[in-house]
Amino acid sequence: MSRLNNFFIPIIIIITILNLILPIPHIMLDFLLAINIILAAIIMLNTIYLKTALDLSIFPTLIVVTTIYRLSLNVTATKLILSEGEAGEVIRGFGSFVGRNNLVVGFVIFFIIMIVNFLVITKGSERVAEVAARFTLDAMPGKQMAIDADLNTGLISEAEAKERRRKIQREADFYGSMDGASKFVKNDAIAGIIITFLNIAGGLIIGVVMRGEEITEALNNYTILTIGDGLVSQLPALMLSVATSFIVTRAGAESDLNKDFIRQLFYNPKVLYVSAALSAAMAPFLTPVPFLILAGVLVFVAYKVKQLQKEAVIDEEVQIQESEVEEIRKPENVVTLLQVDPIELEFGYGIIPLADANQGGDLLDRVVLIRRQLALELGMIVPVIRLRDNIQIGPNEYIIKIKGSEIAKGELLFDYFMAMNSGGVEEELDGIKTVEPAFGLPAIWIQEGQRDKAEMLGYTVVDPPSIIATHLTEVIKKHSYELLGRQEVQTLVDNIRQTNPAIVDELVPKLMGIGEIQKVLANLLKENVSIRDMVTIMETLADYSPMTHDVDMLTEYVRQALGRSISQKFFNGNSNVITIDPKVEQMIMDAIQKTEFGSYLALDPAVSNTIINNVSRNVQRLMQLGNQPIVLASPIVRLYFKRLTENVIPGLIVLSYNEIDPAVEIQSIGTVSV
């Protein structure tokens, strides 16, 4: 059997060619014509049940083979008609049955079929095939780029990428072949018209001139045979043209044509009801019976479709519930519990209206604005903030978590406003005393009716959503260096690569890895320095990383490169600073111990306490003047002085002289000494 399969197509092609030359008996011609009709029907039915055009990728070749086969039969029939005046029972039966033994009727029907095939179906399918081939070829580069992108991001494997590329190439080859094969269908229809006229003209000449038949007898005999031959040829040609139309118009199909036809045409009961009403309205003016029957059928179908849709919704809900239960039962479901959200905001049930847009809450919108604000202010991509209710805490409480650990919490009074004294207000308000959760300032809960009065007196009044948003913003700022991981840094680097590929290619990974860059950026964020100017940061790292791989030293070099933005941030309307006595700086420099793992400060505890106490006194003096406490140090000492004081005075800003913009005029109002 396998050997026969290897020779099946060659045998058919040889037989087809021999048909053009060798004489064929009537019985054999009948059999070959029957094969032609059934084969065309099989091909057409296959195209109806196709899901994708590539499921019948040999269709262009089938068109070529069947066209040659049909033309050979046409030539063979022509030889029999002209030489013997007979062409078998199939051709005569078609001519008599379809034309009802009436030449005019048969001739008209034959030409109608031919015109429909040539002008409507064949021309349309040819144009669709041409456009499909053009668009498929134009879309190939974009599809190839999409596959490469998915492969680079790890969404697909190398094997899947190869399979997708192969499929795209097959689609291009298929529609390109269809564009050419459709020309065979068109030219086959033209050849059928020419052969028909030749048969009639040749039959009349042979019958009247050579055989001496009456012109009426010759016309009747040869015309019926010609019409029969034409119908036998045009019927398979018509089916192949229809098949061609089906296969080139099946773009974006999800299933076979039969299912798509029913699902997409009869899916809307409203359309069916309106169509039924239209049919019933037309009945009195036309033949009532067919329109009324049609209206009844449409109403019945609409009712059944609506019932099926309801059942489908119920079945879908049941399947969803069953899948959820099944998912819970799966052992692998525990893996999802291992994920820790970077930022979580949990709140009691009393705060839910603030997060529910249907109840007028805008907390979700404020969270989106927080991520945008911090992106502009800090230059980092803040992870998605997860909001969830928690019945285990108080109804008006909320908790802010970083990587699963509770960092801060607060409590609100719903329908109250928080009024904070900005410092110059002497008159007190009646209300419930509290503490502002973000900055720890004394505040008062007041009712809405007191809001205007409080603002007139100079109080700062905020609503509960603003309290949560401000508290959340400050917590994220404080812990931003913890939220900046390697993946986030990779995203920032990829963003810079789009506009400044040279600096990225020079730095990563030749000079520094993503992990080292992440440590430098985390050091900057830890001291509230924005990393938005990533180009300057990466250029500085590229300049100094060949000389040292000490992350702390690289951070200092970056801070000096960002001096202008640091000065604008910390010296905005404030020029009072605290300086460090040169003797203290020398003591700190002498106490620096360097190891292969980094540097640390080994200062005598008594000296450390003296320095910290002196700093605290100067800081309190600055705060009493209403200024932000800033300490200036030499570039070498800055980092170690910051480490010395950060545990005792965490909010203290320590800058180096190299980070100060020359345009900024500073004034020392205190000195750290021992």
| Pair (51, 116) in one structural domain | yes
Q: Quick one: average pLDDT of 626-647?
A: 88
CATH of the domain at 414: 3.40.30.60
Least confident of 25-39, 528-542, 612-626: 25-39
| Pair (43, 176) in one structural domain | yes
Residue 352 has pLDDT above 60, yes or no: yes
pLDDT digits (tens, 9 = 90+) for 106-156: 667 667 766 666 665 566 666 666 666 666 666 666 677 777 666 666 667
Residue 294 has pLDDT above 90, yes or no: no
| Pair (57, 201) in one structural domain | yes
CATH of the domain at 645: 3.40.50.12790
| Pair (447, 507) in one structural domain | no
AA letter at 281 = A
Residue 319 has pLDDT above 70, yes or no: yes
Residue 29 lies in a domain: yes
Residue 198 has pLDDT above 80, yes or no: no
Last residue of some domain: 447, 479, 511? 479
Residue 338 lies in a domain: no
Residue 614 has pLDDT above 70, yes or no: yes
Helix, strand, coil percentages for the chain (3-state, nearest 5):
70, 10, 20
Label residue 252 exposed, middle or buried (CB < 10 Å: 0-12, 13-18, 19+): exposed
pLDDT value of residue 337: 63
The share of the chain scoring above pLDDT 90, in percent, equals 23
| Pair (381, 402) in one structural domain | yes
Residue 78 has pLDDT above 70, yes or no: yes
AA letter at 171 = E
| Pair (347, 450) in one structural domain | yes
Residue 586 has pLDDT above 70, yes or no: yes
The share of the chain scoring above pLDDT 70, in percent, equals 72
CB 539 within 8 A of CB 632: no
* Beta strands 343-347; 385-389: pairing state: parallel
Q: Quick one: average pLDDT of 289-305?
A: 80
| Pair (368, 424) in one structural domain | yes
Q: Quick one: average pLDDT of 564-575?
A: 83
CATH of the domain at 530: 1.10.8.540
Residue 392 has pLDDT above 70, yes or no: yes
pLDDT value of residue 509: 87
Q: Quick one: average pLDDT of 540-565?
A: 92
| Pair (82, 133) in one structural domain | yes
pLDDT value of residue 340: 85
Residue 246 lies in a domain: yes
- The pTM score is 0.54
pLDDT value of residue 126: 63
Residue 241 lies in domain: 2-263
| Pair (413, 503) in one structural domain | no
- Residue 629 to residue 652: CA distance in whole angstroms: 6
Residue 527 has pLDDT above 70, yes or no: yes
Highest mean pLDDT among 53-57, 80-84, 329-333, 567-571: 567-571
Higher pLDDT, 190 or 469: 469
Tokens representing 74? 């046409």
Q: Quick one: average pLDDT of 333-350?
A: 79
Higher pLDDT, 408 or 259: 408
pLDDT digits (tens, 9 = 90+) for 464-515: 999 999 999 999 999 999 999 999 999 999 999 999 999 999 999 889 999 9
Residue 332 lies in a domain: no
Q: Quick one: average pLDDT of 63-85?
A: 74
pLDDT value of residue 130: 64
Q: Quick one: average pLDDT of 167-190?
A: 67
Residue 320 lies in a domain: no
| Pair (502, 378) in one structural domain | no
| Pair (137, 18) in one structural domain | yes
CB 56 within 8 A of CB 67: no
Helix (H) or strand (E) holding 248: helix 215-248
Last residue of some domain: 227, 242, 263? 263
pLDDT value of residue 165: 77
pLDDT value of residue 473: 93
pLDDT value of residue 468: 93
Please give the mean pLDDT across all residues of the chain. Answer: 79
Residue 315 lies in a domain: no
AA letter at 320 = I
- Residue by residue, DSSP assigns 94-120 as HHHHHHTT-HHHHHHHHHHHHHIIIII
pLDDT digits (tens, 9 = 90+) for 276-286: 787 788 777 76
Give the count of beta carbons closer than 10 Å to the beta carbon of residue 270: 9
Of residues 90, 89, 85, 83, the one with CA closest to residue 23: 83
Its sign, for the CA torsion 550, 556, 560, 562, is positive
Residue 503 lies in a domain: yes
Residue 351 has pLDDT above 70, yes or no: yes
AA letter at 622 = L
Q: Quick one: average pLDDT of 215-225?
A: 66
| Pair (554, 606) in one structural domain | no
Q: Number of structural domains, the chain?
A: 5
pLDDT value of residue 70: 76
Residue 452 lies in a domain: yes
